[in-house]
Amino acid sequence: MVSVPSVVPSIVPQRAKHWYDWFADDDTPEERKLILKLDMLIVPYAFVVYWVKYLDQANINNAYVAGLSDELGFHGNELVHLQTIYTVGAVVGQIPFAWLFTKIRMHWLLPGMDIAWGVFTLLQYRSQGYSELMAYRFLIGFFESAYFPGVHYVFGAWYRGHELGRRGGVFYVGLTLGTLTAGLITSAATSTLEGVKGLSGWRWMYIICSCITFFFGLVGIFVFPGTPDMPNKFVLKDHDIELAKRRLEKDGPRHSGQLTWRTVKNVFMSWKLYVLVLWDIFFWNSSINTSSGGYLLWIKSLKRFDSSKVNQLGSTAPAIGIFYVLFICFGADLFLGRAGAITLSYTWNLIGAIILSVWDVPESAKWFAFNTIYSSVAMSSVLYGWANDIMRHNPDERSFMLITMNAVSQSTTAWTPLLVFKTVEAPRFHKGYPFVAASTVATVLMTFVVRHLHNREEKQRKLKAESVDGETQPGTPPEGTFVVDASQKSS
C-alpha cells in the first residue's frame, strides 16, 4: 500500500498566534531567511514611498488653509475641484497598467512613476492660478496611479495569503504618516520659511516635498525586488528566486503569463469582477472624508488658531490612524480574521460618521469623531490582501483585477465628493457624513458576501483536485475556518 500524506499540514500552515511569530510552522530555516530578506527589500521601501505619495497627495489641503486660497483668490469650490482632478488623473493613469504590470519590470516602473510625480509636485510651487494648479494636480494623480495596486501586485507575487495582512499594514501606515507629515511640514514651512527668497511658506512646502520624492524614486531602482518572473537581480540571487517560487507552490500552482483577451473574458465571466469591484466601491466611498479636508476646514472655522496651528492640530487624526492601521492589519493575520478585522474597523468608523452626521453635539464629541476617520482606511490592506489571495493562481488575472478594482472604485470618488463634500458646505457637509455612514454599512455587508463566495470557491477547488488526483488542491483555507493537524491516510 502507498501512503499518501494528507495535504492539510503542508497547505495550511499553523498561523502565527502572536505578533512576534512572524513565520508559519511549515516555513523552513532557508525560507525564513528569504522571507526576512524580502521583508527588508519590499516593506520599508513600499512604506516610505507610500508616505511620500500621500505627502504629495494630501498637501493640497494643508496648502489651502496655509495661504494658498488667499494668495490665488480661491473662495468657492476650488479645493474640491483640485481634489477631484487629482482623482481623474489617478483613474486615467491606471488604464494601461493592467497590461504593463506583466510586461515591465516593477523595479523600473514604480520608481520611474515616483520620479515623474515628483516633477509635478515641484512645479506646484510656481502656480499662479487655478488652471495651472489643476493641470499639475491631474498629472500628479496620473503618475501616482500605479503605485498602490502595483505594490499589492508585488506583495501577492512574493507572499502567501496568510502573510499579506501584516506586510500590507506596515505599508499602509505610509498613508496616515504622509497625511500627518504634510501638515507638520506645511506648518514648519509657514512659520520658518514664509517670505524667504520671496516665496510663501506653502510654496516652500512643495519644494521640500519634491526633494524627498526624487530621493526615494532613485533609491527604488536599486533596492525594489520586482517580481519572481521579472526580478531585480541586483538584490536577488537565482537561488532566492527559485526558492520563492517553490514556497509559493504550497498555496497552489501559480501560472506565469501575459494578460490576454482570453484572460479578460475569463474575468468578465467570473463572480470576482462584479463582487470585488462593488465591495471596493463601497470601501472607497466610506473613506472619502479622509481626503475631503473636513477636519482642517472645521478647525479653521473655529477661528481660534493661526494657519500653522491649524495644520498641527489637523495632524492628530492621521497620527491616531497609524495605530488603527497596525492594529487592524496585524489583527487580521493573528486573531481577528479578515472579516472580523474589517467589521471592527468599520464599526469604529460608523460611530464617528454618525456623530458628524448629527453634528449638533458638544465640541468634544466632534474632536473625537474627526479622530476616528482613519479607521475607514485602516482595513485597506486587509481588503486588497484578501483580493490578492482570492486571485493568487493567475498573475495576469490578478494584475487586471487589482487595477480594475482600484480604477473603477476610485473613479466613483471623482464625482461623489462634488455631490456630498462641496467646499462651500464646509465644515458641516450635511450630505457627506451620512453618505459615508451608509457606505460603511454597505462595505461590511459586502465583506460577508465575499467571505461566502470565497469559501465556496475554495471548497469547489478542493473537490475538483481530489477528483483528479486524490489530493486537495493547495490553497489558503477559506476565511473563518479552523484547521487541526491531520494524520497520514493509506490507500
| CB burial readout 195-210, b (16+ within 10 A) else e | eeeebbbbbbbbbbbb
pLDDT winner (highest mean) among 102-106, 202-206, 386-390, 437-441:
437-441
User: Are 130 and 72 in contact, with CB atoms under 8 Å apart?
Assistant: yes
Across 9-13, 282-286, 292-296, 469-473, the highest mean pLDDT is recorded for: 282-286
- Stated pTM of the model: 0.73
Give the residue with greater pLDDT, 254 vs 206.
Answer: 206
Beta-carbon-side half-sphere exposure of residue 168 (alpha carbons within 13 Å): 36
Q: Kindly tell me if the per-residue pLDDT of 431 is higher than 80.
A: yes
C-alpha cell at 411: 473613479
How far apart, in Å, are the Cα atoms of 109 and each of 105, 122, 124, 339?
Answer: 6, 20, 24, 33
Alpha helix positions (H), 14-28: none
Q: How far apart are CA 257 and CA 395, in angstroms?
A: 7
DSSP string, 98-131: HHHTTTS-HHHHHHHHHHHHHHHHHHGGG--SHH
- pLDDT, tens digit, 9 for 90 and up, residues 436-491: 999 999 999 999 999 999 999 888 888 887 776 555 444 455 554 444 443 333 33
Residues 6+ apart with CB under 8 A from 423: 76, 77, 78, 79, 80, 293, 297
**Are the CB atoms for 14 and 138 separated by under 8 Å?**
no
The whole-angstrom separation of Cα 416 and Cα 96 is 24
* Residue 271: alpha-carbon gap to chain centroid: 23
487: nearest Cα among 24, 2, 8, 1: 8
Structure letter (DSSP) for residue 197: G
* 406: enclosing H helix or E strand: helix 395-412
Length in residues, the chain: 491
Amino acid 146: pLDDT: 85
Query: Which conformational region is residue 198 in: left (phi greater than 0), alpha (psi within -120 to 50 degrees), or beta?
Result: left
CA 187 to chain centre: 26
pLDDT of residue 253: 59
Percent of the chain with pLDDT over 90: 49
CB neighbours of residue 166 within 10 Å: 24
> Which residues are registered as beta bridge partners of 3?
490
- CA–CA distance, 60 with 133 (Å, rounded to integer): 10
Asked whether the predicted pLDDT for residue 179 surpasses 90, the reply is no
Q: What is the CATH number of domain 29-250+257-474?
A: 1.20.1250.20
Q: Work out the average pLDDT over 123-144.
A: 94
Q: Sorting pLDDT into bands at 50, 70 and 90, what band is 308?
A: confident
The pLDDT tens digits for 317-343 are 988 998 999 899 888 888 889 999 999
Give the ranges where 193-270 is alpha helix by DSSP (H).
Answer: 201-223, 238-248, 261-268
What's the pLDDT at 12?
A: 37
d(CA 282, CA 98): 22
CA distance 206 to 123: 8
Q: What is the pLDDT of residues 142-173, one digit of tens each?
A: 999 989 889 988 998 899 877 887 888 888 88
What pLDDT, on the 0 to 100 scale, is given for residue 259?
62
**Residue 238: how many other CB atoms lie within 10 Å:** 9
Segment among 111-125, 285-299, 396-410, 421-435 with least mean pLDDT: 396-410
Across 21-25, 250-254, 375-379, least confident range: 250-254
Compute the radius of gyration of the chain from its Cα atoms: 23
How far is it, in rounded angstroms, from Cα 420 to Cα 483?
46
- pLDDT tens for 35-85 read 999 999 999 999 999 899 988 888 888 888 888 998 998 888 898 899 899
